Amino acid sequence: MLAELKKHPEMGPLHLEPMIYWRGVALVQYWRTFEQLHAYAHLREGNHLPAWAEFNRRIGGNGSVGIWHESYLVERGNYECIYVNMPQFGFGGTSDLVPVSGRLESARQRIGKAE
C-alpha cells in the first residue's frame, strides 16, 4: 500500500511516517482531504481494500493483532510544527518549512490568533 500511495500522490497522501514505538509498529498518514482518504480505503482496484478483507478473514477479532485508527480534520493555517536541531518529520513532512522570524516568532501570530 505504501508503494502504491508513493507512486500515486494524486490519490491524496501528503506524507507517510512509519515508526516503531514501545507497543509495536505504527504508520502515521497525512492526507490532503478526508474524502481522498475515504476514497482510497474503498478503492476496489487499490491495495487497501483487499488487504483489509484478508486481515479480517485471517485475524478479525481474535485479539492477536490490533489496529489503531484516528482521523482529524485540520484546517489550513490552524497548525504549527516547530523543529529545533532535528530533522523534519510528522506533520511538517507535508509541506515546505518556513523559518521562524519576525512576526512568526509568536505562536499566536503563527496560528493567526494574535491579539
Domain range for 94: 74-115
| Average pLDDT of the segment spanning 83-106 | 77
Which residues make Cβ contacts (< 8 Å) with residue 16, sequence separation at least 6? Answer: 2, 5, 6, 27, 28, 29, 30
- Residue 8 in grid coordinates: 500515486
Among 54, 72, 90, give the residue marking a domain's end. 72
114 shares its domain with 83: yes
Q: Output 111 or 87, whichever has higher pLDDT.
A: 87
28 shares its domain with 79: no
8 shares its domain with 60: yes
* Rounded Cα gap, residues 84 and 76, in angstroms: 23
Q: Output 97 or 26, whichever has higher pLDDT.
A: 26
94 shares its domain with 115: yes
pLDDT digits (tens, 9 = 90+) for 26-83: 999 999 999 999 999 999 999 999 999 999 999 998 989 888 888 989 887 777 787 8
Which residues make Cβ contacts (< 8 Å) with residue 67, sequence separation at least 6? Answer: 55
